[in-house]
Structure 1
């Protein structure tokens, strides 16, 4: 089934009768599909394709994730002859509904999350709890067999060890995450300020690569270790740019006897907002490109052999120079001449201030939230070009139909629309937390309509304030054969 962005849930309500009619018709005429000589597999994939990619007569609709899962489960169960009352995604591992044995075709549900938590440490206990609940719910709702949570930004946290310990313990003990049999946490607080947490079910037959013994070792129970002691990581710090550490930490897993590699990385930010307004790529962008290419070159062998996920704080910036030019043209505005080189002020024909940009302010005034939040940020999405420019075809990123991951401020209680996104006016919004994959993993996700239609890429806690930086999540059903 199609699981697009959750904020378009209202579209489903308009087409609910159409979907319900399709399910009812399937239930009523199921006997017609089960007679001798009928190719049930062909019927199943035809229906799956029709529902996931409707024709013009049946316009594509956006489904709320939970509602989509309900529709998907009901149709699957009717096709497979299973009772609807049971939980279809109970273990996160399922054979295809038309498979006769578990060995025929298998799929696994996995969740990947990347989060910059440098701002979270400065928030209230209530906000930290909201963040924890949002992450736990994002995982538990999918009932996956494996979940990876990559954290960055700990180099900016005072008393980082105590904060990380408190946060990860809250996740381990969360009532929604009790379905997992083992947890692995590996952190680097000394050089990169990152932490990787992995939740795994025994159904995945998990094994973790030991770099000292050059072999995979079984995983069970909960275990926490630092990058200095852990034999299970490939770790390197590549440099430092204006107090921003740059590097990666990789773990190699064997899940269902298939190799999966997970890379937690962090790249440098902008040296100056003003610098990024005058040219693209900026000086900071050129440094990001250099370091990202170094990381990918080190991973070249793995990229071509294993299924890989890169989930980290890429720190990518939008093309501010082009954004400013377009805004000046659209509003017939001009930049005010002044003797100061550390600020940019623009005014329209009515002498209203259009925007102010300096190293401590990035403010489009009355248009600020509208510009960056309308249509899930798609008004400025065209300026988010660093990922494609730097990575090219080496890695794949699903379509970005969600608002920027950074930077947010709490909603005002005076605002009528509690779901309105409020962006900070001290820094440029952008899609800084990202999740990308190599072609091998993409092929496993896009193997057929069953797996490819269940891919979801979006924000965690989109409609609530859970810190200045929102985590990004990728949810996928992965073909294992």
Structure 2
């Protein structure tokens, strides 16, 4: 007999919530609860990145309070089993990832089990379990920080992945929370196609794919969702945006190093069309990233294509998820710091995509979208995938 279980997967880079403590957190939570109440899932997976924000030594206490708010919320009262994993052990520089994962199981969902990676067996999920710390001794989660040699030329940062494994109605699934490397400089990102940052991300994600499919544990269908930091192919995009412009490269006096790239329109009094510096990306017609949900720019979103052999994704029909203004009154405006991009994604194996029940009924269909599109959610809009998991009950 086929059984359909409502599943909601959400990925959210929450660094902004702690760097601006209290300003946007309440509305952020309300938007999350609205999504839960709209789709009425029986199983929820929340994957967070940058828990504690940039100033994590100061803000980690706020982060724990934030997660506690979600767990104790009236909107989540019907989820009687909760599993929380938070890597907040920032003293351990060689292993700290700032990742957090929360899993909510509705009281109506009976047949659910979680994997113990040490004993290599599943056990029934009961009550509420919370693991906050280094997580290295916790046997129901696997966590790794990417090795230092992955990006020898750049500052070693809190990037890595975290995996949990579940059985829902006889169907096994891996859920992987991932945070890949960002673009440190817009100028370096313009140097080549693909950029050196894109190559680093590709190596790191391939490493994750190999780790979750190696021989230590039986391979299962998987969902990988987090902040992949995928960027548009900047060099190709700049060439496209400046086809009718004069491009000027400004170098520092003291060296031959490029300091800024300025594209001026050939007419219109030489209006500046595009201005790029290390941490500045200003495009005159910013609306192109929002019009038709940025669809015209999806052809520059190439990084996921390198994984066509192992990964699928539902069609993107929402604007780039980053970098939104952190100003409360500008919820749909992008910051002029980075080129807008679809950083936050929910990807899946071919086998996992086969478990998504395709239905014309929107409540049971597949929905891939952002949380809080018209509300200030910080610099990243959370991204969710709602679907009915199709399984067979013996």
Q: Given the alignment, which residue of 27, 45, 49 partners 1:130? A: 27
Question: 2:266 aligned with 1:349, yes or no?
Answer: yes
Q: Given the alignment, which residue of 249, 257, 262 partners 2:162? A: 249
Alignment check: 8 A CA contact 1:451 1:479 kept: no
* Residue 255 of structure 2: aligned partner: none
Which structure has the highest strand share of the two? 2
Question: 2:291 aligned with 1:374, yes or no?
Answer: yes
Offset, 1:460: 0.4
Alignment check: 8 A CA contact 1:411 1:421 kept: no
Question: 2:137 aligned with 1:216, yes or no?
Answer: no
Q: Which has the larger radius of gyration?
A: 1
Query: What is the rounded CA distance, in whole Å, between the counterparts of 2:178 and 2:361 in structure 1?
Result: 31
Query: What is the rounded CA distance, in whole Å, between the counterparts of 1:259 and 1:361 in structure 2?
Result: 44
Query: What is the rounded CA distance, in whole Å, between the counterparts of 2:316 and 2:222 in structure 1?
Result: 19
Query: What is the rounded CA distance, in whole Å, between the counterparts of 2:112 and 2:186 in structure 1?
Result: 45
* Residue 363 of structure 1: aligned partner: 282
Offset, 1:208: 1.2
Query: What is the rounded CA distance, in whole Å, between the counterparts of 1:181 and 1:233 in structure 2?
Result: 20
* Residue 141 of structure 1: aligned partner: 38
Structure 1 residues 336 and 424, CA gap change in structure 2 (3 angstroms): same
Two-structure CA RMSD over aligned residues (Å): 2.2
372-381 or 296-305, which deviates more: 296-305
Alignment check: 8 A CA contact 1:246 1:291 kept: no
Query: What is the rounded CA distance, in whole Å, between the counterparts of 2:27 and 2:191 in structure 1?
Result: 38
Query: What is the rounded CA distance, in whole Å, between the counterparts of 1:421 and 1:130 in structure 2?
Result: 15
Offset, 1:268: 0.7
Equivalence map 1:27-426=2 (5 Å):
104-154=1-51, 156-158=54-56, 159-190=58-89, 191-202=96-107, 203-226=109-132, 227-240=135-148, 241=151, 242-301=155-214, 305-329=219-243, 332-340=244-252, 341-350=258-267, 351-365=270-284, 367-368=285-286, 370-389=287-306, 391-409=307-325, 421-426=332-337
Offset, 1:156: 2.3
**1:125 aligns to what SS in structure 2?**
coil
Offset, 1:123: 2.3
Offset, 1:258: 1.8
Alignment check: 8 A CA contact 2:364 2:387 kept: no
Alignment check: 8 A CA contact 2:115 2:121 kept: yes
**2:60 aligns to what SS in structure 1?**
helix
Alignment check: 8 A CA contact 2:136 2:143 kept: no
Highest RCO, 1 vs 2 (Cα 8 Å, sep ≥ 6)? 2
* Residue 82 of structure 1: aligned partner: none
Q: How many residues of Structure 1 are paired with residues of Structure 2 in the alignment?
A: 368
Q: Note the residue ranges of structure 1 that are not aligned, 5 or more in a row.
A: 1-103
Query: What is the rounded CA distance, in whole Å, between the counterparts of 2:368 and 2:376 in structure 1?
Result: 19
Query: What is the rounded CA distance, in whole Å, between the counterparts of 1:474 and 1:447 in structure 2?
Result: 13
**2:147 aligns to what SS in structure 1?**
strand
Offset, 1:320: 1.0
Offset, 1:399: 0.4
Offset, 1:339: 3.8
Offset, 1:454: 0.4
TM-score normalised over the length of structure 1: 0.72
Alignment check: 8 A CA contact 2:87 2:97 kept: yes
Alignment check: 8 A CA contact 1:267 1:292 kept: yes
Which structure has the highest helix share of the two? 1
Cα deviations across residues 142-162 of structure 1 (Å, max 9, x unaligned)?
Answer: 111100000001362433431
Cα deviations across residues 434-475 of structure 1 (Å, max 9, x unaligned)?
Answer: 111111221111567679970000100011111111100000
Offset, 1:239: 2.5
Structure 1 residues 325 and 232, CA gap change in structure 2 (3 angstroms): same
Cα deviations across residues 223-272 of structure 1 (Å, max 9, x unaligned)?
Answer: 11131332101222223542433321111112112211110111111132
Query: What is the rounded CA distance, in whole Å, between the counterparts of 1:157 and 1:113 in structure 2?
Result: 24
Query: What is the rounded CA distance, in whole Å, between the counterparts of 1:222 and 1:328 in structure 2?
Result: 55
